[in-house]
Amino acid sequence: MTDCPAQVMPDSLEILRLPSGDEVHIPKARPALRQWTGEFEGDTCGNKPLADMDGELMFAELATLRLFHKDG
C-alpha cells in the first residue's frame, strides 16, 4: 500500500477471524500525532483523545484525514 502519507503507512497487520473460520489480514497503522495540550471545554465524544495538527485542535480521525489531504 503506497498511496498513504508516510505518517499513516501501515506497520503491522490486524488478524480478524470471521464466523466462517477464515482469517482476514488488515493493514494497521499507528500514526504518531501530537496530543492537544491546550484548553478545551467541549464534548470529546466519549473522552476521545484530541490531536494537535499544526496548532489546530481536532480528533485523530480528522487529523489523519488532514494528512491525506496534505499528501494529495
**Cα gap 38→15, rounded to integer Å:** 36
Q: Over 70: is that where the pLDDT of 67 sits? A: yes
pLDDT bracket for residue 2 (50, 70, 90): low
Written as nine digits, the cell of 14 is: 490486524
Pairing of strands 34-35, 23-28: unpaired
Q: How many CB atoms lie within 10 A of CB 62?
A: 13
> pLDDT tens digits, residue range 14-60?
999 999 999 999 999 888 899 999 888 888 888 888 999 989 999 98
